[in-house]
Amino acid sequence: MEDVTRRLVVVTGASSGIGLAAAVDLAGRGDQVVLVGRDPARLTAAGERVREASGERPELFRADFAVLDDVRGLAERLRAAYDRIDLLAHNAGAIVLQPVTTIDGFELSIQANHLAPFLLSNLLRDRIGRMVVTASAAHRSGALDPDDLNAPLRRYRSMGAYGTSKQANILFTAEAARRWPEVPAHCFHPGVVRTRFGSESRLLSWSLRVLPFRSPEQGADTLVWLAREDPARLVDGGYYVDRRLHRPLPKAADRELAARLWAASARAVGCD
């Protein structure tokens, strides 16, 4: 049963790809959509796409998840603008081809893909009605160590670092559901999607040419479905693929590891 009420929806990573496709779809269904992105020009262009599809110009918020102070500022601006956020869709993410340490001292993948969404969720917790997190089957290549979030910087492999951040996404979603039962939380794998994501990588670009791929709209389908479905019909904290509940690998379903990650993340971003 789809929720047909008008809601306030915040989508991160909404400048292109899955995030933009989801924003266009949700706005077309009558939701008030707020777009969050890093690049001002692409964010403005995305806003025009949403306006053309829905007839309503969305609010735009710029933030770089590679800078935690940007995330804190984003949370302050969202809190000032909205008393309630019916849906927070965590879609911002990055595949980082070379080892990069952020200004905050963390490996870029784990910060942009996990720590920044973790911080934003905690800062907005009392405003959030539900959460959807873009995860990935790439969690199979994850090797998360909550005691050393920068471990991927040693002998760096881009897909290993990315997989570790996606493993963290799934663990975070499940732990958020346990700690915040009043906030339904779900994550999903969008499939292999042809977007700008990872376009700088020759290997990834080649893979997208030879592997079965989806359009951004197809990749966003489960996100939109999770955003609209009655939470009572879903498994809180669940990981979904093509609108079906899936069991992630054990390393992404370990409750003890999820609790350790939560504690380590809270220390890392200073929101104990």
Per-residue pLDDT band for 193 (boundaries 50, 70, 90) equals confident
pLDDT tens track for 72-118: 999 999 999 999 999 999 999 889 999 999 999 999 999 999 999 99
* Domains of the chain: residue spans and CATH: 8-267 (3.40.50.720)
Kindly list the catalytic residues. Answer: 162
- Does 226 have pLDDT greater than 90? yes
- The pLDDT, as a whole number, for residue 41 is 97
Per-residue pLDDT band for 1 (boundaries 50, 70, 90) equals low
Report phi then psi at 233, rounded to 5. Answer: -95, 0
Predicted structure pTM score: 0.92
- Does 141 have pLDDT greater than 50? yes
Per-residue pLDDT band for 199 (boundaries 50, 70, 90) equals very low
- The pLDDT, as a whole number, for residue 212 is 64
